[in-house]
Structure 1
Amino acid sequence: MKRALLIMAVMTTLAAPAMADEALAKSKNCMACHAVDKKLVGPSYKDVAKKYAGDAKAVDMLATKIQKGGSGVWGAIPMPANPQVNEAEAKKLAAWVLGQK
């Protein structure tokens, strides 16, 4: 019984940051144009993670795009700027996106 409770506690702790970052993405309206595993208006987060896998500069680059917007990387539809997202939130979101498998 103790072992089962310990395993559940560890699993909850490991899942909490991922859920928190998804909640942040929802609260900042990111999910209006993006989904974790399918293309909507913009690419899926899994596709973004795959494209930038192994790129040490990806978190900072994506954080900047989240805040300032961008165009041309994923097609003709530009990503608008998101001034409601501060720098720390943008980096947290970028790290979460890059962690999608």
Structure 2
Amino acid sequence: MADAEALAKAKGCYACHAENAKKVGPSYKDVAKKYAGKADAVDYLAGKIKNGGVGVWGNVPMPSQNVTDEEAKKLAEWVLSFK
């Protein structure tokens, strides 16, 4: 998963997110906990990463990200790996 972490750093994910603490957005661990066990979690999060959204974690919007579908899926799988 080191390549996914490198992708997250390259795409600027760490500007708003951290592994263990809330920044502008939720921590990766909080996201993983919220979606643990949900069958569509990877596809759902990949869509949120690619297209952005607002309201799930408060009023601060997450803008759409400049990632491919494959990159969004890789990032979603990586985020969900946090325990």
Fold shared per TM-score above 0.5: yes
Counterpart check, 1:62 vs 2:35: no
Relative to its length, the structure with more helix (as a share) is 1
- Which structure has the larger Rg? 1
Sequence identity percentage: 65
Deviation of the 1:52 alpha carbon: 0.3
Residues in 1 aligned to 2:20 and 2:7: alpha-carbon distance in whole angstroms: 17
Alignment size in residue pairs: 83
TM-score by length of 2: 0.97
Stretches of 4+ aligned residues off by more than 6 angstroms: none
- 2:60 counterpart letter in structure 1: I
Which structure 1 segments of 5+ residues have no match?
1-17
Gaps of 5+ in 2: none
Distance 1:87 1:19 in 2: 19
Q: TM-score, normalised by structure 1?
A: 0.80
Aligned to 1:100: 82
